[in-house]
Structure 1
Amino acid sequence: MSKLKRLAGETVLYGLGSIVPRFLNFLLVPLHTNAFSPEQYGVLSKLLAYVAVLNVIFTFGMETAYFRFATKDGADEQKVFNLAQTVVVIISFVLSGALLLLAPSIAGIMDIAGHDDLVMWLAAIMFIDAVVAIPFARLRLKKKPLQFAVGKLTNIGLLMVLNFYFLKIAFNPSVGVGYVVLANLLANAFYLLFFARSLLSWRPVIDRSISPAMFSYAYPVMLTGLAGVTNEMFSRQTLDWWLPANFYANQTPARALGIFSACYKLAMLMNLTVQAFRYAAEPFFFSNAVDKNSPALFARVNHYFIIVCCVLLLGAGINLDILKYFLGNATYWEGVNIVPILLLAYLFLGVYYNLTVWFKLTDKTIYGTLITVGGAVVTIAANFLLIPTLGYLGSSIATLLCYFSMTVGCYLLGQKYYPIPYQVGKSMAYIIVTTAIVYATNSIIIPNFWVGTAVHGAIIVSFVLVVYLLEKNPFRQPAT
């Protein structure tokens, strides 16, 4: 179990650098919802969605390529770092320059005409994010999760202070959501100082033998990421397109988008766990790939990951009456019924990330692209069919269908090219039972808040105890 314990420890430390900052960022939601109307919050959500999509192109899959090539036998880590960083800087410089030159036109396309400055600030944010992506990957490869955490925590600390200052002290309605963008830009500028030594050690270089191989490995990863972020962000745009004007009484599609986007934040609790685990697991998978027992090890990692996510699904899914207060403005509470669906969707996304180990280790990253593009097709079709009849509940179901289909597709292909003995039946049983408990519990209305909270707490404790009794023998297996 030593390797699993080390992975768990590193996940906790990466949690400090990813979950804690994102949770603190989540705490900004009440500040934003009280400062902006649902319509304005919807605009902010769309802007950040565009950034999420473009960030994937800016980094071009080079983080994963860096892990792969830096861990090969006889690899020169500094050289691989230089090669990966060179590609990222060139691509991000060209794209940022294009955004700056075309800012007026792009502002019009993004429905923020007259706010060219927002486009310029977003371009700068994405450039900085891209430039520090490989240095952050280097910290993960060299197993420096504490330094990783310090950088992330300092950034979010600055972001919270700047948000509070702009929205509570220096607020000007004419700037509006621009304050949030500006706060992100100023906070991200800190990363340039934090990674000054690493960035100064970089030497631009192109290697005729290695660079094409890295590029060939990375671009399917980029396409996979692009399709993946489309799966996550597409529903926010399609609500504007496909939601009937009078679907929600006295609400415009823009207002519905704002409510949906705010409630979506509650489901990020699962995504934060997934991301923290992913930061630790990706270098873990690569470094243990040559071990003859790695398939069994990877299967156990996935099983325990699912158990942890099921506990989180249960804890968050039956305590919506508490979570809704994190939304601040009660106007947004009406959408909390979508949260359990999105929590389950992110659970499957986390499982999918675990399953992707097969095509990353066999250099068949093109399959990742095909799987994720398939997920994007499911997303588009499901949103088109479900939004007109179910509103943002339909968007939530579409997200679940997308990630579930990607998980199934990745598993089936993986068992063909890189068989791993996953505990499919037992893991699925945990997921199904947990989901059933969530909906059964939520169907019982307990008028007294404190009594309801106590009952929900007892359910969670009982669930954890049962899981422990079922899993105690595997936990006591000999060290691996």
Structure 2
Amino acid sequence: MASRKTHFLIYTITSLLQKGVSFLLLPVYTKFLTQEDYGTVSISTTSVALLSVVFTFGLDTAIVRLYFDFRQDPSSIREKLGSLLVAMQVLGLGIGSVLLVVGLLFFRDGFFGIPFLPFYPMILLILFFQPTFSLVQALFQAMEKSRLFLVFNGLFFVVNLSLTLYSVIVLQMGAFGVIGAQLVSLFVFFFFGLWTIRRLWKPAMNLKIVTESLRYAAPMIPHSLGGQLAATADRYILSYYFDVRQTGLLHLGYQASQPMELLSGSFNRAFIPFFHHKLSENSVSSIREIGLFAVLAFSTIALGGSLFVGDVFTWFINAKFHGAIMIIPLLIFSHVATTLYYFFSAILFYDKQRTRLIPICTVSSAIIGIGLNFVFVRHWGLWGAAVSQLASQVVLFLMAFLLSYRFSAVKWNYGLMIAIFVLYAGVGVVVSTFAPTVLSSSAYLAVRLVLCFVSVGICAGYYFLYITNTLPKSIFKRS
């Protein structure tokens, strides 16, 4: 079986294929796509992310969790998984039909700034095919088949990227080409994915299994919906107060911050199995050490990214999109805040009696984030959306901290971890925003290089102490 480091590496490579290459292709996309195109893509992908939560009633995520129970009884696993897969398709058809009627009644004149046709029906079709595609990925992860995970995603990446580049560059189809390429790719891999896991399922409809699974998944829907609302409300609100072009700039800002997101997400995929394994062995010291190092390392990377992203943008991105530069540092550090949430909430996912607390975190974050967006976006536009996003992620990890502090078996040094985040985020945002207006170009470069050198030195020093097993125990005292 592959080691945890191997899983982390493979998941990172997969995420690089899915998101990192899109980041590298930003110069190409910004040349051939307009701000309106970016805004259309943003509203479409945002709608898919948000509506996917209710499209399957959480069965796609429930299947992965219940797989660990099902595999204890190999004789019935195919019927159980098959029943849930069939139920997913039935729910998808039913909910998709309802949403189509809703669209015809209320959005025929436009859907948050984008044309109803052809984009709204395309969104619904993507919503139908995507859950099964995501489920296949998640099953490979649950089975710790990281190499299959890589191959499956790699093939999808090649197909989707080829179709996207051809439709955008050669056919010059704009936003329709981007969304259409994703739809065609998901359509192909919907069937390919089902074929790939054919030995794990067979067509069936066991209503008892479906009912039990829905009962398990239902409490997680507010959690998932809250998380998606917190992450996506800014696009809708920005489009409402301004126009879809501003939404396009925000979308580009999120794309520019994707390297930080993929590092955080890949680490979490590898960390969760490690967390469960170590906690079951009552070995929490290594969890604390890795957690603190990850916060320090990600904060260091985010600091460097926030300080130099403006230079990269100016050199490589079309000038019509330079308005997004100012928000990228805030979005980069919002992903570091999400990493803190992963650590503080891990025990809530581990303890079945505490999972009911998870929606409190995400719903609180969503409510505050949406409220801040309505206030800040109206007055500050793009900047307000980015500030609201960072604030909502801070609320998310603070709620996880408050709800897990008393009973968590992992005695995190909460004070130090949060202090590192606040210090690095404060320095990164303040320096990248205000220093260029008061310092010469050479002085600004010198300040950034010094800050990066110091932060990398601190991170390297911690890692040296970690690998030599000489970390002072005092830094892990709970605070």
TM-score, length of structure 2 as denominator length = 0.85
* CA separation of 1:358 and 1:213: change in aligned 2, threshold 3 A: farther
Q: Alpha-carbon deviation of 1:71?
A: 3.0
Q: Distance in 1 between matches of 2:345 and 2:337?
A: 12
Q: Distance in 2 between matches of 1:88 and 1:255?
A: 35
Instruction: Verify the 8 A CA contact 1:242 1:384 in the aligned structure 2.
Output: no
1:290 partner amino acid: S
Instruction: Verify the 8 A CA contact 2:373 2:385 in the aligned structure 1.
Output: yes
Show the 5 A alignment for 1:60-459. 60-72=57-69, 75-76=72-73, 78-79=77-78, 81-99=81-99, 104-105=104-105, 106-110=107-111, 115-172=116-173, 176-191=174-189, 192-199=191-198, 201-205=200-204, 211-242=210-241, 253-293=243-283, 295-325=284-314, 328-363=317-352, 364-439=354-429, 441-442=431-432, 443-445=434-436, 456=448, 459=451
Query: Which residue, 30, 43, 50 being the options, matches 1:53?
Result: 50
CA deviations on 1:206-245 (whole Å, 9 max, x unpaired) are 55665444322222223211111111110111113345xx
1:152 partner amino acid: N
Instruction: Verify the 8 A CA contact 1:11 1:280 in the aligned structure 2.
Output: yes
Query: Greater CA deviation, 332-341 or 320-329?
Result: 320-329
Q: Alpha-carbon deviation of 1:184?
A: 0.6
Instruction: Verify the 8 A CA contact 1:270 1:343 in the aligned structure 2.
Output: yes
1:469 aligns with 2:432: no
Instruction: Verify the 8 A CA contact 2:256 2:328 in the aligned structure 1.
Output: yes
Q: Distance in 1 between matches of 2:274 and 2:57?
A: 22
CA deviations on 1:3-53 (whole Å, 9 max, x unpaired) are 9x9434312210111233211123343333333332332222111111111
Q: Distance in 1 between matches of 2:316 and 2:244?
A: 18
* CA separation of 1:366 and 1:129: change in aligned 2, threshold 3 A: same
Q: Distance in 1 between matches of 2:398 and 2:409?
A: 14
Q: Alpha-carbon deviation of 1:430?
A: 2.3
CA deviations on 1:124-167 (whole Å, 9 max, x unpaired) are 22222111222211111121222212222222222222222112
Instruction: Verify the 8 A CA contact 1:71 1:286 in the aligned structure 2.
Output: no
Query: Greater CA deviation, 440-449 or 19-28?
Result: 440-449
CA deviations on 1:321-343 (whole Å, 9 max, x unpaired) are 33315873212112311111111
Identity of aligned residues (%): 18
Q: Alpha-carbon deviation of 1:390?
A: 1.9
SS at match of 1:71: helix
Q: Distance in 2 between matches of 1:407 and 1:254?
A: 31
Query: Greater CA deviation, 129-138 or 103-112?
Result: 103-112
SS at match of 1:236: helix
Q: Distance in 1 between matches of 2:374 and 2:66?
A: 41
* CA separation of 1:426 and 1:455: change in aligned 2, threshold 3 A: same
Query: Greater CA deviation, 355-364 or 80-89?
Result: 80-89
Q: Partner of 1:246 in structure 2? A: none
Q: Distance in 2 between matches of 1:224 and 1:359?
A: 12
Structure 2 regions of 5+ residues with no counterpart?
A: 471-479
Instruction: Verify the 8 A CA contact 1:71 1:287 in the aligned structure 2.
Output: no
Q: Alpha-carbon deviation of 1:274?
A: 2.0
Number of residue pairs the alignment of both structures matches: 461
SS at match of 1:143: coil
Q: Alpha-carbon deviation of 1:107?
A: 4.8
Instruction: Verify the 8 A CA contact 1:320 1:336 in the aligned structure 2.
Output: yes
* CA separation of 1:418 and 1:334: change in aligned 2, threshold 3 A: same
Q: Distance in 2 between matches of 1:83 and 1:300?
A: 42
TM-score, length of structure 1 as denominator length = 0.85
Q: What root-mean-square deviation, in Å, do the aligned CA atoms of Structure 1 and Structure 2 show?
A: 3.1
Q: Alpha-carbon deviation of 1:205?
A: 4.2
Instruction: Verify the 8 A CA contact 1:300 1:422 in the aligned structure 2.
Output: no
Q: Distance in 1 between matches of 2:34 and 2:177?
A: 15
